[in-house]
């Protein structure tokens, strides 16, 4: 029951996140704000994570974890509802039907005007424009995104730790893989929902769409961005309900003496976490940790920039509508790795469950490669099953925690500012002030969108090579692949001899029992 509930929570949280990233362009046009401000709104989600993640890391396991996850889902629902609220407060969307002129604009900005005519409106007092209520309605979206980040914080760490505490060690990788695979469904549904909403006019139901003079391919078009947030709010509320009926603890899977075993497991895990943390932060792996964090920060910056502004790039470069651009995002093959993750964890579980410690003589390995494979696969299984402990050892370190989370906050801001620098024509507000950008320099936009992430990913290889150099120095003198293989073969031969002795001893015992009976 908990596995199904936490999988649904993963679907709900990834649904909300993918929908938010897909609607950034619509939000920019609705509120007539620059791209850099939209990037700040998008990065505010990490601010919400930052506010609560330390508390969850330290005190989450001491509280009622299912209820905390349920409360997190309710908080996410509240954030999504708050993000949709400006639509009901600011009235109808008014797009530019005429060309307005301000003193700093040249005639070159109006070369392409329908029927070769220009209709000018007098410039009003700029102070009146600033005082409009709708000018600051984007604050609701900002605060709602922060609240959504706060609500999402306890789902992953508490959900995975709950499974690892009460599931068999050989089954927990399969369960975690199932949860991670469930996260595929959320982005797919979110992108489909965003594609549908972007094709529907923002004021559907209150205006006659036949009277509209713009189409979805127009840069002034705004889709029904608010509707998707209401859907996300409803989904998050529904996923929160089962968690309030789940117990604080569960019987250890496959064991009867649950209380004592669970207590011993927790103590062993705490000791192992402390030992691992000391080894990483203070011991021989200190530099390894430093370079690993920096590599991930750089890679995360490149990923955030690419995924946040992909719809805008597809619209500007290929003339696609917002709906088509969002739909094309679904072709991103990065989601497919989670399918292989489920298969890998299932195979690992089967191998670990039915593997035997005593290899029979007739099942002796035929080559060195198989020995290497057997040892490597168990190393991978152990590393995956202990993933939560390693994550916790990183999270409790203040520097690492801050660096990893803050990486997602400035990335969309500075990237949005660079995108704004390529703008050729800005939209205008009623009083003549600039609003959202309407036309970009496609060449410079392409250089920035593709060039900056490429440079970031390329620079991430510098700490990666440093990590490789550290690992190569860790090898003992004279140690090579053959010596490692000989060690593995010696262990396997010793295990075979031990099994033979066990079989012979049991045979002698059986003979003695038979003689006694006779």
More confident: 134 or 230: 230
Q: What is the pLDDT of residue 455?
A: 93
158 pLDDT higher than 70: yes
* Signed CA dihedral, 437, 439, 444, 447: sign only: positive
Greatest alpha-carbon pair distance for the chain in Å reads 119
What pLDDT, on a 0 to 100 scale, did the predictor assign at position 226? 93
* In contact, 31 and 132? CB cutoff 8 Å: no
Per-residue pLDDT, 486: 52
Q: What is the mean pLDDT of residues 226-233?
A: 94
Cα–Cα distance for residue pair 513/220, rounded to 1 Å: 93
Cα–Cα distances in angstroms (integers) from residue 74 to residues 78, 107, 125, 249, 262, in the given order = 6, 53, 44, 22, 30
Is residue 64 classed as helix, strand or coil in its secondary structure? coil
Looking at the chain, the number of H-run helices and the number of E-run strands are 23, 2
Cβ count near 317 (within 10 Å) = 16
Under 8 Å CB-to-CB from 185, ≥6 apart: which residues? Answer: 11, 14
Residue 176: band (very low, low, confident or very high) from pLDDT cuts 50, 70, 90: confident
**Mean per-residue pLDDT, 281-289:** 60
Task: Return the higher-pLDDT residue of 223 and 512.
Answer: 223
Q: With 70 as the cut, is the pLDDT of residue 376 above it?
A: no
Residue 516 has pLDDT above 80, yes or no: no
Q: Does 142 score more than 90 pLDDT?
A: yes
Task: Specify which of 41-55, 137-151, 239-253 reaches the highest per-range mean pLDDT.
Answer: 137-151
Which residues neighbour 175 within 8 Å (Cβ) at sequence distance 6 or greater? 3, 163, 167
Q: Is the dihedral of CA 438, 444, 448, 449 positive or negative?
A: positive
pLDDT band, very low/low/confident/very high, at 359 (cuts 50, 70, 90) = very low
Q: Does residue 435 surpass a pLDDT of 70? A: yes
* pLDDT band per the 50, 70, 90 thresholds, residue 493: low
Mean pLDDT, all residues of the chain: 72
pLDDT tens readout for residues 42-95: 989 988 888 887 788 777 777 888 899 999 999 999 999 999 999 998 888 887
d(CA 49, CA 237): 20
Tokens of 38: 């939209």
Nearest-angstrom CA–CA distance, 446 and 245: 51
Span 94-99, mean pLDDT?
64
Whether 423 and 439 have beta carbons less than 8 Å apart is answered as yes
Separation of alpha carbons 217 and 220, rounded Å = 9
Q: Is the pLDDT of residue 101 over 50?
A: no
- pLDDT > 70: percent of the chain: 61
Q: What is the pLDDT of residue 449?
A: 92
SS3 184: coil
How far apart are alpha carbons 36 and 396 in whole angstroms? Answer: 32
Of 124 and 443, more confident: 443
CA 331 to chain centre: 17
Mean pLDDT of 447-461: 91
Could you write out the DSSP letters of every residue in 250-280? -PPTT-S-HHHHHHHHHHHHHHHHHHHHHHH
Whether 134 contacts 91, CB under 8 Å: yes
């Amino acid at each position: 029951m908990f596995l199904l509930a936490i999988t649904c929570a993963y679907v709900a949280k990834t649904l909300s996140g993918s929908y938010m990233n897909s609607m950034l362009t619509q939000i920019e046009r609705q509120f007539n704000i620059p791209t850099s401000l939209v990037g700040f709104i998008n990065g505010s989600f990490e601010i919400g994570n930052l506010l609560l993640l330390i508390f969850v890391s330290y005190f989450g396991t001491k509280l009622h974890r299912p209820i905390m996850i349920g409360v997190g889902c309710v908080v996410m629902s509240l954030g999504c509802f708050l993000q949709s609220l400006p639509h009901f407060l600011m009235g109808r969307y008014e797009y530019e039907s005429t060309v307005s002129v301000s003193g700093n604009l040249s005639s070159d900005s109006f070369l392409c005007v329908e029927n070769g005519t220009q209709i000018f409106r007098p410039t009003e007092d700029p102070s009146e424009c600033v005082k409009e209520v709708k000018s600051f309605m984007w604050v609701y979206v900002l605060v709602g995104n922060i609240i959504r980040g706060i609500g999402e914080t306890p789902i992953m760490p508490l959900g995975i730790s709950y499974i690892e505490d009460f599931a068999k060690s050989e089954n927990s990788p399969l369960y975690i893989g199932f949860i991670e695979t469930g996260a595929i469904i959320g982005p797919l549904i979110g992108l489909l929902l965003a594609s549908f909403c972007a094709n529907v006019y923002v004021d559907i139901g209150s205006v006659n769409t036949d009277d509209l003079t713009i189409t979805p391919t127009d840069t002034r078009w705004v889709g029904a961005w608010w509707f998707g947030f209401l859907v996300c709010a409803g989904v998050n509320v529904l996923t929160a309900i089962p968690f309030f009926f789940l117990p604080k603890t569960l019987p250890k899977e496959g064991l009867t003496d649950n209380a004592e075993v669970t207590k011993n497991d927790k103590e062993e895990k705490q000791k192992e976490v402390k030992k691992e943390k000391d080894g990483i932060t203070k011991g021989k792996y200190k530099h390894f940790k430093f370079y690993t964090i920096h590599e991930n920060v750089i890679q995360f910056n490149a990923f955030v920039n690419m995924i946040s502004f992909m719809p805008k790039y597809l619209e500007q470069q290929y003339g696609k509508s917002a709906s088509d651009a969002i739909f094309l995002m679904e072709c991103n093959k990065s989601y497919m790795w989670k399918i292989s993750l489920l298969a890998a964890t299932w195979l690992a579980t089967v191998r670990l469950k039915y593997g035997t410690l005593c290899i029979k003589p007739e099942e002796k390995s035929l080559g060195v490669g198989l020995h290497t494979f057997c040892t490597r696969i168990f190393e991978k299984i152990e590393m995956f099953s202990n993933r939560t402990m390693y994550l916790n050892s990183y999270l409790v370190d203040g520097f690492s925690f801050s660096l990893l989370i803050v990486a997602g906050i400035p990335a969309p801001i500075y990237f949005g500012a660079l995108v704004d620098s390529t703008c050729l024509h800005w939209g205008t507000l009623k009083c003549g002030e600039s609003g959202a950008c309407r036309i970009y320099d496609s060449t410079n936009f392409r250089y920035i969108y593709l060039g900056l992430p490429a440079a970031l990913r390329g620079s991430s290889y510098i700490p990666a090579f440093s990590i490789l150099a550290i690992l190569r120095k860790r090898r003992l003198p004279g140690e090579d692949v053959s010596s490692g293989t000989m060690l593995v073969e010696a262990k396997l031969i010793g295990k075979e001899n031990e099994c033979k002795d066990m079989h012979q001893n049991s045979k002698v015992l059986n003979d003695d029992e038979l003689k006694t009976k006779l």
